[in-house]
Amino acid sequence: VTLSPTMASSQLLLFVIVGKNEPLYEAEFHKMGGTSSGTSDSVTRQNYFVLHSALDLVDKASWTTNNMYLKVVDKINHQQVSTFLTAGNIKFMLLHGGKTEDSIKNFFNEVYELYVKLSMNPFYKYDTPITSKFFDTRVRAVARRYLS
Amino acid sequence: MSRSTANILDRPLGGRGARSEGSVSTSAFAYLYSELVQYHQSRVASISELERRLESSGYGVGLKVLELLAYRAREYKRETRLMNILQFVSSAVWKSLFGKAADSLERSIDHADEFMIVDYEPITSMYVSVPSDLGQLSVDAYLSGIIAGVLDGAGFTARVTAHSVTLEEHEVSANNAPNTNMGGSGSVNNNLPPRKDKAVFLVKFAPEVLERDATLDR
């Protein structure tokens, strides 16, 4: 399987929240007015594959620093995977085509705040999929603000 | 009664510079906790099952407290070392929940994987008396659940159990002196007979945790 770097790769952002065993939340962000009319299935699958294969590297890196923001953990072709770990070891992972560190850090910090607030809900069980639509709307708004 | 129905994602979380994070009266907690214990007591067949249920009630609290306190500290740091997470539990978590740090954090001499957190006046057992037919029951199992939740969430899997240990002579007089400062729990004049025991939370870490921590020493 060759990973073909399409025009879309630098405009597509894939954000996944991963718990101890499974993804808890996923969102794709497209740049407005991008040339592709939505990502094709195979590109999406490749993106998920890239993100998940970076998990081992995240695990390794997570014990070497006590920062929450782990910066770029993996580079594949023209894409990079940046990661942020919460105190409870929930991983926020972003697949991107080379955004500036600052904008990614700000994005992660805002999503972190949303995640902690979500966790305060006594009916939200830790490490379970996030189904709140409010959360989804908010995360997308944060992504629009910092990542486009 | 007017109550804001703002979405939870819009409410403030506190942290540096925020107004006081709010506290709950001991009596409110004591009533609620007594109901929790009675609720479980009527549904179990054994002491250990009761303790297990109390532990799992506290577990969720531990997970949330971990995330909240780390966020409020505003440092964007997490604990990766064993001693540090234990310090976090015995000081930061205890202070946030009970108004004062735990009374001591000790390491077992016989077992390298065991640690003890001691509290002379845990609020969960302040207004609880255990009849003799329930023998070894410790209602502080709720607190061991909280500790386990914090440790587990941070990646330091551990088995935490609560034990009531009789106070030794010198401890009895030190803790029951008339003007002992009770810290955040506030109630100095609670008219209860002085406690004869302290709560010891035994924390036994999983072997992988100790191995991992040992490799980080290098």
Query: Is a pLDDT exceeding 80 seen at residue A101?
Result: yes
Which residue among A62, A68, A125 places its CB closest to the CB of B76?
A68
Query: Is a pLDDT exceeding 80 seen at residue A5?
Result: no
What is the mean pLDDT of the segment spanning A76-96? 91
Residue length, chain A?
148
Amino acid letter, residue B56: S
pLDDT at B115: 95
Cβ distance B78 to A138 less than 8 Å, yes or no, reads no
CA distance A79 to A16: 15
Cβ-based neighbours of B203, under 8 Å, separated by 6 or more: B86, B114, B115, B116, B117, B147, B151, B158, B159, B160
CA distance B142 to B147: 9
pLDDT at B173: 60
Return the higher-pLDDT residue of B38 and B10: B38
Cβ distance B13 to A113 less than 8 Å, yes or no, reads yes
Mean pLDDT across chain B: 85
* CB-based contact, A128 to chain B, within 8 Å: no
DSSP code, position B89: I
CA distance A18 to A25: 7
CA distance B113 to A40: 51
CA distance A87 to A68: 7
Burial string for A82-102 (b: 16+ CB within 10 Å, else e) reads bbbbbbbbbbbbbbbbebeee
pLDDT at A37: 47
Query: Is a pLDDT exceeding 60 seen at residue B178?
Result: no
DSSP-assigned letters across all residues of A21-89:
SSEEEEEEEE-TT-SSSS--HHHHHHHHHHHHHTHHHHHHHHTT--BSEEEEEEEETTEEEEEEE-TT-
Q: Tens digit of pLDDT for each residue in A22-70?
A: 899 999 887 654 444 455 777 778 888 888 889 989 988 898 888 999 9
Over A97-127, what HEC string results?
CCCCHHHHHHHHHHHHHHHHHHHCCCCCCCC
pLDDT-based confidence at residue B169 (cuts at 50, 70, 90) = confident
Predicted structure pTM score: 0.86
pLDDT at B190: 63
pLDDT-based confidence at residue B188 (cuts at 50, 70, 90) = very low
pLDDT at B114: 94
Stretch among B8-17, B51-60, B157-166 having the lowest mean pLDDT: B8-17
CA distance B149 to A56: 24
Bridge pairing between strands A91-96 and A12-18: antiparallel
Cβ-based neighbours of B142, under 8 Å, separated by 6 or more: B33, B36, B54, B55, B57, B58, B124
CA distance A1 to B205: 43
Instruction: Collect all residues of chain A within an 8 Å Cβ-Cβ radius of residue B60.
Output: 122, 125-126
pLDDT-based confidence at residue B137 (cuts at 50, 70, 90) = confident
* CB-based contact, A120 to chain B, within 8 Å: yes
What is the mean pLDDT of the segment spanning A107-134? 93
Amino acid letter, residue A86: T
pLDDT at B194: 82
pLDDT above 90 as % of chain B: 55
Instruction: Collect all residues of chain A within an 8 Å Cβ-Cβ radius of residue B13.
Output: 113, 116-117, 120
Q: Contact B199/B125 with Cβ under 8 angstroms? A: yes
pLDDT at B13: 78
